[in-house]
Structure 1
Amino acid sequence: MLIDRLPDKALADYGRLFCLQPELIRASNDFDIFKEKKGGRIRIPGFTVKRYSLKKGETLDSVASLLPFETETIKLLNARSRISNERCILLPCRATAPVLIGRTKYCSNILERDLEALTEVYPFVKTSVIGRSVLGKPIWELKIGNGHRKVHFNASFHANEWITSGILMELVNMYLLALCDNRTILGEEAISIFESTELSIVPMVNPDGVDLVLHGPPPGMWELATAINGGKTDFSGWKANIRGVDLNNQFPANWEIEKERKEPKSPAPRDFTGTSPLSEPEAIAMANLSVNSRFDMVVAFHTQGQEFYWGYGGKEPAVSSYIAEEFSRLSGYRAVHTIDSHAGFKDWFIQENGRPGFTIELGKGINPLPLSQFNKVYRDVLGIFLFALGKSF
């Protein structure tokens, strides 16, 4: 929501008027705007605007007196508008429900729509494109918070695990609501987490693959995709990127072992490691992001199994065991120290950084999991998300 800024108002004044933590307003605007002596417009997070037609006898002041805002707040919103013959004014509406719905067939177009909605209502959410897929689709990262501690979540490395993207985005929206409503998270004020932690989210690592599973091959790709798929036109079991490379077998953590023992040896709907580590643009984007961001912890959402993996080659730190116990307690998922697998994103992150990394297998059944499981899976992993977000290790 945009309002006029008055030179005599400080950041704290706007926080009081809108019952928001001033740091959220600061993070939603250019840093120097509150130092300028002239006016201008500022963004207020956590609000939308609606038009209201004044009834006979009503005035802006009389309507404002009935709302849970100071009259000055309504006047700031309407400072630039002139009440027309229809006598319309603008009223602020606090966001009290999610602005997105993750419980849907969550493709790349829906993700882009939701990113636009989130950044409109919560302008302190910063988005950037960290790379592009084989077909040139953006791979988006969201950043929330400005602390020194860096926590990363990602989803949809595998195409037919697209439900993880919708779940992760709904978890993000829940956090944003908590921030603007001054709530606590596991006993800690949400704003304290915002000030101490930078949350990084890549909600869809494999947009080409997700769209293939949900919508079929794009124009010009039908022949190649069906050939990789063994002539079948049902792509629901496809895990790989559009070139038939499994993106979670792409990282230089004993990649050679996986290459030798994995079948098939050529592009396929699943399990093909590629011809070399980091051969695919999606994997390169995730590797570059990790190297440049120096995350303190990473969590990758996959499906299925109601379990998670937290070790790799004995290179994980001792604190990973404690985090795994808490993740298991909060979710009911089984904690698995190690499995006979290599070349995954979590594996490589632990190997290179010696910091906690987790692969969470959401839900249980056959991929792709049905949307009927969405609510249960969301409840199961909510504690994992909040614990990773709010606890320092």
Structure 2
Amino acid sequence: MEVQVRRGDTFYYYSQLFYLPLQLIIDSNSDMAGNSLQIGQTVSIPGFYIGNYTIRQGDTFWGIARRRNLSVDALLLLNQSLNPSALQVGAEISIPLRITQPVVMGQQAYSFGILDRDIKSLKNAFPFIKVSQIGESVLGKPLYEILIGNGEKKVHINASFHANEWITTPILMRFMNDYLLSLTNRGAIRGVVMEPLYSSVTLSLVPMVNPDGVDLVIEGPPPALREELIEFNKGNTNFSGWKANINGVDLNNQYPAKWELEKERKEEKNPAPRDFPGYKPLSEPEAIAMAELARSGDLDRVLALHTQGEEFYWGFEGMEPPESEMLAEEFERVSGYRSVRYIDSFAGYKDWFIQEFQRPGFTVELGMGINPLPLSQFDRIYESVLGIFLVSIYR
């Protein structure tokens, strides 16, 4: 919601008027210098939108505000051209409405187009989030990173490294939406108040690492690549089992963490729907972008969301720090997922992150069944993994 500055208005006053944390208003207007506002400037108020109300007989601003639990001055701010003493029956006024329901509808086939639309909607509703492009896919789709918060501790979560594991993207988007609502409504998630975390943690989210692959699974092949992709897919026109990127490379086998060993024992030696690690590590633009994010982002811990198995992996060659074991115990306790320290699989993003930075990294396998998991599991998966999300940013 946008408002026009009046004489004497300040960010602090707006925070009191709309019962919002001051820092969220400051960060929603980061292009404005300090707290010195100029009359007529446009200020973004996060967590609100503007609705319309039609004046009825006997209405006053005071009565309308009281019925809607608003300050009279909030109505005056949004209706500066009106004379509150001379309201006309049938005229429309603007009223501020708090956003209390999710902006994102996660339980759907979640293509890149839906992700792109939802990120724009969240940025409009919660302008304190920072959205940037960290790279692009083989077909030129942007790889988005969303940053929330100002804290020194930086927690990164990503989703949809694997195309047919796309349900991880709406799960992550649901968490982001719930987190943003809890901030603007000064609420809690499972008893944890989120507002203090905003100043102590920076949350980094990449909700779709492999947009080309996700769209291939959900929408089918682009016409120009249809024949080539069918060939990669062993002649099969059903792409529901596709894990790789559009080049037929498994993005979670692309990292220089015992990559040569993984390459030797993989049956796939050429582009394929799954398990081909590429002809060299970090050959794919999506994998490169994620590596650069880790190198430049000073990430304290990383969670990579996959499906399926209801377990998580957290070790690599003994390089993981003691903190990882503590977090693993908490993750297991709050989710019911099985904690697994080592598995006989290498060259993944989690493996490389631990190797490079000796910081906690986790691969979390959501849900149970055959990929792609059905949307009927969405709520159960979310409730299980929500505790892991909370522990990752709270501990």
Single out whichever of 53-62 and 272-281 deviates more from structure 2: 53-62
Tell me the distance in 1 between the aligned counterparts of 2:156 and 2:16: 32
Gapped regions of structure 2 (runs ≥ 5) = none
- Say if 2:351 is the partner of 1:350: no
**Partner of residue 45, structure 1:** 46
Q: Which string of whole-angstrom CA distances, capped at 9 and with x for unpartnered residues, describes residues 333-376 of structure 1?
A: 00000101111000000000000000000000000000010000
Supply the RMSD in Å over aligned alpha carbons.
Answer: 1.6
Q: CA deviation at 1:7?
A: 3.9
Answer yes or no: is the 8 Å Cα contact 2:56–2:90 preserved in 1: no
Q: CA deviation at 1:311?
A: 0.4
Tell me the distance in 2 between the aligned counterparts of 1:351 and 1:68: 54
**Partner of residue 126, structure 1:** 130
Q: Which string of whole-angstrom CA distances, capped at 9 and with x for unpartnered residues, describes residues 80-121 of structure 1?
A: 579899511111111111111111111101101110111111
Counterpart mapping for 1:1-393 below 5 A: 1-30=1-30, 31-32=32-33, 34-79=35-80, 87-185=91-189, 188-391=192-395
Answer yes or no: is the 8 Å Cα contact 2:150–2:202 preserved in 1: yes
Single out whichever of 76-85 and 362-371 deviates more from structure 2: 76-85
Q: Which amino acid aligns with 1:92?
A: P
Q: CA deviation at 1:33?
A: 5.3
Distance 1:103 1:206, change over 3 A: same
Partner-residue secondary structure (3-state), 2:306 = strand
Answer yes or no: is the 8 Å Cα contact 2:306–2:363 preserved in 1: yes
Q: Which amino acid aligns with 1:298?
A: V
Single out whichever of 232-241 and 253-262 deviates more from structure 2: 253-262
Tell me the distance in 2 between the aligned counterparts of 1:197 and 1:338: 28
Partner-residue secondary structure (3-state), 2:224 = coil
Q: CA deviation at 1:130?
A: 0.7
Answer yes or no: is the 8 Å Cα contact 1:60–1:89 preserved in 2: no
Q: CA deviation at 1:269?
A: 0.1
Q: CA deviation at 1:192?
A: 1.0
Matched residue count = 391
Partner-residue secondary structure (3-state), 1:201 = strand
Q: CA deviation at 1:185?
A: 4.7
Q: Which string of whole-angstrom CA distances, capped at 9 and with x for unpartnered residues, describes residues 162-216 of structure 1?
A: 0000000001111111111112356553121000110000000000000000000
Answer yes or no: is the 8 Å Cα contact 1:186–1:387 preserved in 2: no
Q: Which string of whole-angstrom CA distances, capped at 9 and with x for unpartnered residues, describes residues 273-301 of structure 1?
A: 00111100000110011101010000000
Q: CA deviation at 1:61?
A: 4.1
Tell me the distance in 1 between the aligned counterparts of 2:337 and 2:193: 26
Identity %: 53
Answer yes or no: is the 8 Å Cα contact 1:185–1:390 preserved in 2: no
Answer yes or no: is the 8 Å Cα contact 2:54–2:89 preserved in 1: no
Q: CA deviation at 1:4?
A: 1.6
Partner-residue secondary structure (3-state), 2:365 = strand
Answer yes or no: is the 8 Å Cα contact 1:309–1:336 preserved in 2: yes
Tell me the distance in 2 between the aligned counterparts of 1:79 and 1:179: 28
TM-score normalized with structure 1 length: 0.96
Tell me the distance in 1 between the aligned counterparts of 2:359 and 2:120: 33
Tell me the distance in 1 between the aligned counterparts of 2:291 and 2:78: 44
Tell me the distance in 1 between the aligned counterparts of 2:192 and 2:335: 19
Tell me the distance in 2 between the aligned counterparts of 1:112 and 1:86: 39
Single out whichever of 336-345 and 59-68 deviates more from structure 2: 59-68
Answer yes or no: is the 8 Å Cα contact 2:135–2:286 preserved in 1: yes
Tell me the distance in 1 between the aligned counterparts of 2:82 and 2:363: 52
Tell me the distance in 1 between the aligned counterparts of 2:278 and 2:111: 24
Q: Which amino acid aligns with 1:183?
A: G
Tell me the distance in 1 between the aligned counterparts of 2:38 and 2:264: 66
Tell me the distance in 2 between the aligned counterparts of 1:187 and 1:101: 24
